[in-house]
Amino acid sequence: MEKPIPSQMSDSELVAQWLQGDEQAFTALYERYRLPLFGYLHRLLPGRRDLVDDVFQQVWSRAAQKLGAYQDQQKLLSWLFRIAHNLVMDCFRRGDGQEYQELLESFASEKLSPDEELHAGELEHALQEAISQLPLEQQDVVQQRLAGVSFKDIASSRKISLNTALGRMHYAIINLRRLMQEYL
The per-residue pLDDT for 97 is 47
Radius of gyration of the chain measured on its C-alpha atoms: 19
Mean of pLDDT values over 61-71:
81
The per-residue pLDDT for 3 is 63
- Exposed/middle/buried for residue 71 (C-beta within 10 Å: 0-12, 13-18, 19+): exposed
Mean of pLDDT values over 9-26:
85
Q: Which fold has domain 114-184?
A: Arc Repressor Mutant, subunit A (1.10.10)
Please, what is the average pLDDT of the chain?
78
Mean of pLDDT values over 7-28:
85
Task: Give per-residue pLDDT as tens, 119-148.
Answer: 556 777 788 888 889 999 998 888 888 888
Main-chain phi, psi angles of 3, to 5 degrees: -75, 135
Integer Cα distance of 173 and 150 in angstroms = 16
Do the Cβ atoms of 165 and 154 come closer than 8 Å?
yes
- Exposed/middle/buried for residue 54 (C-beta within 10 Å: 0-12, 13-18, 19+): middle
Mean of pLDDT values over 17-35:
87
CATH classification code of 1-111: 1.10.1740.10
Q: Which residue has the higher pLDDT, 126 or 30?
A: 30
114-184 shares the fold of 1-111: no
Task: Give per-residue pLDDT as tens, 78-110.
Answer: 888 888 888 888 777 665 445 555 555 554 444
Enumerate the domain spans of the chain: 1-111, 114-184
Confidence band for 21, pLDDT divided at 50, 70 and 90: confident
The per-residue pLDDT for 73 is 58
- Is 70 exceeded by the pLDDT of residue 158? yes
The per-residue pLDDT for 135 is 92
Task: Give per-residue pLDDT as tens, 41-50.
Answer: 888 887 788 8
Q: Which residue has the higher pLDDT, 109 or 31?
A: 31
Integer Cα distance of 81 and 86 in angstroms = 9
This model's pTM is above 0.85 = no
Which three-class secondary structure string do you get for the chain? CCCCCHHHCCHHHHHHHHHCCCHHHHHHHHHHHHHHHHHHHHHHCCCCHHHHHHHHHHHHHHHHHHHHHCCCCCCHHHHHHHHHHHHHHHHHHHCCCHHHHHHHHHHHHCCCCHHHHHHHHHHHHHHHHHHHCCCHHHHHHHHHHHCCCCHHHHHHHHCCCHHHHHHHHHHHHHHHHHHCHHHC
